[in-house]
Amino acid sequence: MILVFGKTGQVAQELAAEETVTCLSRDQADLTDPAACAEVIRAHAPAAVINAAAYTAVDRAEAEEDLATRINGTTPGVMAETCATLGIPFVTLSTDYVFDGKGSSPWHPDEPVAPLNAYGRSKQVGEAAVRLAGGAHVILRTSWVVSAHGSNFVKTMLRLGKERERMRVVADQIGAPTPARAIAAACIEIARQLIADPEKSGTYHFAGQPETSWAGVATEIFVATGIPCAVAEIPTSAYPTPAPRPLNSRLDCSTLERVFGTTRPDWQAGLKDILKDLGERA
């Protein structure tokens, strides 16, 4: 059995559909309480642990950095220590937002991180703590998660696109949406391979393809659904937010493909599945 922290989130809901998985809700395991999470792992005695719970409210984190750091930093570190002691692998998710977004080449997993915002810093703390724990682990950085569940950019665009004739969307943040379903499948595959070969431990990238901008994603949504909403491409400077976002979110996913054989999902195909699940498309 693989134990999953998270039940209601985008990735957690896709993991719940997998066999051999037990998903924990906030009631069963609150990530603000690291000792309780460690105890839950010991009590379940799983073959591996996947952490799909996190503080993901990027703008709100600017005012709640301590809370975000506890959930995304301290607790994943304690989970990883517990797994190391039990001799089982630990898989956790991180983000493109650990990078500063400079330049235009895809980020390699070994490149230095320099987050621009509190959420990114909290995930950086988690990454470091998980490595320090010293057990079998994978830190899987992904980007721009989309799914039919929870809240995400796709659902925001569907809601606002039906109310407005025109949406202003940033066109200079470049990256790739990643379907939560593909992330869940990748996490399961990684956990299985780590059980067999802990030497595969490390930090890897997994994102959809091809690269685009948020304006590109919005355009694709309106074309695929026939929602009559125009997309006005704007620079990030014209869309001020409490948390600064990186401009270059391109992730080099080649090491994951080489070591685990996991290929990048086509986000446009994933988007069509999501729109179908939401009843927005035949």
Ligand X SMILES: NC(=O)C1=CN([C@@H]2O[C@H](COP(=O)(O)OP(=O)(O)OC[C@H]3O[C@@H](n4cnc5c(N)ncnc54)[C@H](OP(=O)(O)O)[C@@H]3O)[C@@H](O)[C@H]2O)C=CC1
Ligand Y SMILES: Cc1cn([C@H]2C[C@H](O)[C@@H](COP(=O)(O)OP(=O)(O)O[C@H]3O[C@@H](C)C(=O)[C@@H](O)[C@H]3O)O2)c(=O)[nH]c1=O
Looking at beta carbons only, is 194 or 243 nearer to ligand Y?
243
Q: Quick one: DSSP state of residue 274?
A: H
Q: What residues form DSSP beta bridges with 84?
A: none
Identified binder of ligand Y from the candidate list 5, 90, 99, 214, rule CB under 6 A: 214
Do residues 67 and 31 touch, judged by C-beta distance below 8 A?
no
Q: How crowded is residue 249: how many other Cβ atoms within 10 Å of its Cβ?
A: 23
- CA-to-CA distance for 51 and 77, rounded, in angstroms? 11
**170 lies in the binding site for ligand Y (CB under 6 A):** yes
**92 lies in the binding site for ligand Y (CB under 6 A):** no
Using CB under 6 A as the binding criterion, the count of chain residues that bind ligand Y stands at 18
**222 lies in the binding site for ligand Y (CB under 6 A):** no
Query: Which string of x and - marks every residue 8-47 that binds ligand Y (by CB under 6 A)?
Result: ----------------------------------------
- CA-to-CA distance for 32 and 75, rounded, in angstroms? 7
How do the residues of the chain divide into helix, strand and coil, expressed in percent and rounded to 5?
45, 20, 35
Identified binder of ligand Y from the candidate list 239, 254, 272, 273, rule CB under 6 A: 239
Residue nearest to ligand Y (CB): 95
Residue 26 identity (one-letter amino acid): R
Distance of closest approach, residue 27 Cβ to ligand X, in angstroms: 8
**158 lies in the binding site for ligand Y (CB under 6 A):** no
H-run or E-run covering 21: strand 21-24
Identified binder of ligand Y from the candidate list 10, 51, 173, 212, rule CB under 6 A: 173
- Report the SS3 class of residue 118: helix
Do residues 194 and 200 touch, judged by C-beta distance below 8 A?
yes
Do residues 98 and 151 touch, judged by C-beta distance below 8 A?
no
Q: Are strands 212-213 and 174-175 parallel, antiparallel or unpaired?
A: antiparallel
Distance of closest approach, residue 156 Cβ to ligand Y, in angstroms: 5
Active site residue 119: yes
Show Cβ contacts of residue 56 under 8 Å, excluding neighbours closer than 6 positions: 9, 119
Interacting residues with ligand X (CB under 6 A): 6-12, 26, 30-32, 52-56, 71, 93, 95, 142-145, 150, 180
187 binds, among ligand X, ligand Y, none (CB under 5 to 8 A by kind): none
Identified binder of ligand Y from the candidate list 156, 228, 230, 258, rule CB under 6 A: 156
Query: Which residues are near ligand Y by CB under 6 A?
Result: 56, 58, 95-97, 143-145, 153, 156, 167-170, 173, 214, 239, 245
